[in-house]
Structure 1
């Protein structure tokens, strides 16, 4: 049997239906099923609660083409034995009660809230699950503004469900890094096939996970490589650079160069309002460490993201 191209469409090997009503505990569920892996999944389950999810379908799924490609690349990158496989789960959320397969066949497509693919690679120093990808219906909060989403199709226990939203994913920091994920998030709706695998991206860049062509904590993607991937996706773009303090750009100081440009927020805002997301790349407090994030929308709520990120993810430098 031909495998699905992406894990969200993969065949189920076993499944379990779980009700989210009382006395269900998200903390207890995650501690039991995915110990030592809380923050990203807690955020996803919080979204499910916000959308008044009633049922979860937890599936063990077969290896899809994109998963097979990543595992083959991990074999090369980490000198693993041939045939390396991962543990894979698909978690799907519904705002209607689903009690068995028959009731799943009867629920409306509109009841499908979103999904998350969880992948665990049993590799030394990297042996923990990650959110391989997730798409969730956007919130209807009046103060939140998001445009430019695309439809993704997810197979749940043999039935296909559409969900419109943006993709969220975590890099493995071995064969893909934050820039791969960010480009996938913002540019795949322009791609002829509707999505890109990480291997496709690396092949464009000539990264084969051998010799000098390695990714990881010491090597992310450079700006010109990110631009190559955006071109490959078929998206149009504008690129603007804000140099770091002390950089000499064409005989001018970085301060002068900054003053010649509009504040980056003034450029991102109208782009988002027009339905076009942005990529924001910046340095952290560690001079050797950079990061790239997709900017998909804006909110007029009090900002609550920076304190959480500062505490649990990375230190944002004083200058962006």
Structure 2
């Protein structure tokens, strides 16, 4: 099986590539512009080819898609605050780039395409959990760009018969997730701060909730979708259907680090207050979906970040 993964040098992409090539029957071609992905995440992986390029570039897409059996389209601008600062770039990558991927899949034999939208398209609903039947209410340019991609996915399935599966990702966390930029996701930001001895930064009161899913569980679902060639005309929530507050996350991390200082700041524009998936449709498509693994996955994430921190500390020269 030959799989193309756009954004395959990024956090979720590199975890997926590693999972796929662990099976001897899979070859992977990756397209990544390395704006947030890292070449090192793919080094020494068997049956893996990296093409450095932009997902909006037709020639680059043709190079990696040719001969593929399926495409996992993960390349995206994923930060809500960054989308507020630069909505045009976010739209071009997330909406136009997604259109380019669908068109490449059509050119090369109507390939199966699996790609992520986002729970951000729901906005701030007043009822939980949110089902796929809830009308979207995007509150940020990022969410709007993902909703545009959903429309393109549905239209390509309806107009051209393209086999597409759209997942709405919720809050994914785990090893390889970047923590070294201003808009880092909450789990890596908290773990990195704890390791460095900095206060945990909480925007707002910390009672906002998220439906966390480990990258291990999520990539397992993606692999299942590829092997079973799952399709669905509309979006499918990909989450465990749980809710944990940011304050609760901070408390769980204290089990690994001891008492942690906290610094509160104003809420950020575009941030969603609460998030929780209704995952009945997902469980119908993937009946063997595993159970929520949050405590164990959080511990695994802490171990990975701690190992990276220790490696950096060993390479840092001491005072002369």
TM-score bracket for the superposition, by shorter chain length: under 0.3
- Which structure: greater helix fraction? 2
Larger of the two Rg values belongs to structure:
1
- Which structure: greater strand fraction? 1
User: So what's the TM-score if we normalise by structure 1?
Assistant: 0.27
User: So what's the TM-score if we normalise by structure 2?
Assistant: 0.27
- Higher RCO, 1 vs 2 (CA within 8 Å, ≥6 residues apart): 2
